[in-house]
Structure 1
Amino acid sequence: MTVQSSLIHDLSAHTVRRLVVSAMYNNVYLITSKTTGAQILIDAADDLPAINVLLADAAGDAIVPTKLAMIATTHQHWDHVRALAALAGQSGAPTAAGADDIAGIDAEAGVLIGHALHNAGTLEVPGIKLATTHLRGHTPGSMAYVLREDTVQEAGNGKTLIFSGDSLFPGGVGNTDKDPKRFTQLLDDVQERLFAAYGDEAIVLPGHGDATTLGAERPSLPEWRERGW
């Protein structure tokens, strides 16, 4: 099943579009720099024809021609990489993912990721700079990508968007297969690396389903820890 792509954020320096693909309702996100036309696509989850429509929809989002400059993957699970090989082959765009998930992505998608990412790093193309946040637990190398609009505007004037993959959703963290150690690691990372690092207004864009904010979820952190999932 494919749901039509849509513009979800029209920021001062970027647009963000969302496409929902497959029976798993995976979110595919496309960030476009309005000034350079460079684009980062997050999670080539499935359905290359639909992703091509998403790219076509964004063709008018910049003042210059747009170009896919990077394909970033949040984590290695099969439902997030089904169109990765086809899109990378079609576009020639470089690929990026968490270092500890690179082998898993190769096994699932047959793609050897070109840029290995680590915690507290950056992923950058002309006009787009994403902070990379390693969130261990759902998979060994799960990454969140954070776009702070004020990195290209005066500090404090922009939005913060967190592309959280399957590590953080409305109502809880991602699946850790009922493993207490993995759950504790994921919740610790989410709490320390997202909730402690960004304000309540930060918008969370997960790998499936609807968006939320850190402020909406913050009061529930003790409850999540107590229930163990």
Structure 2
Amino acid sequence: MTYTGDVTVGGAPQVRELSGLTITKVAVDEKMANNAYFLTCKATGDQVLVDAADAADTLLTVIGDAGLTTVVTTHQHWDHHRALATVVEATGAEVVAGEPDADAITEQTGVAVARRVTDGDSVAVGDCTLEVIRITGHTPGSICLLYRDPEGHPHLFTGDSLFPGGVGGTFGDAEAFKTLVEDVDTKLFGTLPDDTWFYPGHGSDSTLGEQRPHVAEWRERGW
């Protein structure tokens, strides 16, 4: 199956095979349609989950016998960590989150955040490396994860900071929107090439090149 990034709740995962990494995308929860991403190192078999959003049974089925080394929670909002406690209890995975959001995640889930990360930090997926990019605005400690495929284009996991069609919601907070769109513009569009494929916390994927012409429009409309 050709990877498109289009998944449905209750439907089959979509799988993308890179040179050193396998990306598996699953949709969970009919109401919120959250995406969960499994990243598996081909050399070692180590797996990392980006957002244990919901449906622990579904996530654990995908994890399977290979186990899970790490769960990265992209931000503190409840819909992105509803299955975190169950998944961590079942797998013993280490929990990683952005430093300013870590306490809120623990308060909401009862799960300790083992690693609090920010710009310049990294998360290992076996022999592969995810670079942490802090994007402030949707929440204080939202993070994106960047994988630079040595044999292809970059892959970027954006949580709720960037979607096809705009940045994440800031709930009427003009200053938060200003910070968010500036971070997205400078840290993502300003440093990464057009062929960077990004994977958001809800809905379909896109590329930075497809979205780049619209950034000024997003600034102008204010959301």
Give SS of 1:185's match.
helix
For 2:125 and 2:212, locate their aligned partners in 1 and report how far apart those are by CA, in whole Å. 31
2:3 is matched with none
2:184 is matched with 190
2:116 is matched with 116
1:14 is matched with 21
Unpaired stretches in structure 1, ≥5 consecutive residues: 60-65, 151-156
Identical-residue share of aligned pairs (%): 40
Deviation of 1:49 (Å)? 0.6
- Are the aligned partners of 1:138 and 1:186 in contact in 2 as well (CA < 8 Å)? yes
CA gap of 1:4–1:55, structure 2 versus 1, over 3 A, is farther
For 2:18 and 2:125, locate their aligned partners in 1 and report how far apart those are by CA, in whole Å. 17
For 1:67 and 1:21, locate their aligned partners in 2 and report how far apart those are by CA, in whole Å. 20
2:59 is matched with 51
Paired residue total: 215
- Are the aligned partners of 1:2 and 1:50 in contact in 2 as well (CA < 8 Å)? no
Give SS of 1:2's match.
coil
- Are the aligned partners of 1:163 and 1:206 in contact in 2 as well (CA < 8 Å)? yes
TM-score (ref. length: structure 2): 0.93
- Are the aligned partners of 1:21 and 1:28 in contact in 2 as well (CA < 8 Å)? yes
- Are the aligned partners of 1:33 and 1:128 in contact in 2 as well (CA < 8 Å)? yes
1:37 is matched with 45
1:10 partner amino acid: E
2:204 partner amino acid: D
Question: Any runs of at least 4 consecutive aligned residues in structure 1 with deviations exceeding 4 A, and if so which?
Answer: none
Matched, 1:130 2:104: no
Deviation of 1:120 (Å)? 2.3
Unpaired stretches in structure 2, ≥5 consecutive residues: 1-7
RMSD (Å), alpha carbons: 1.3
- Are the aligned partners of 1:5 and 1:17 in contact in 2 as well (CA < 8 Å)? no
- Are the aligned partners of 1:77 and 1:108 in contact in 2 as well (CA < 8 Å)? no
Matched, 1:77 2:53: no
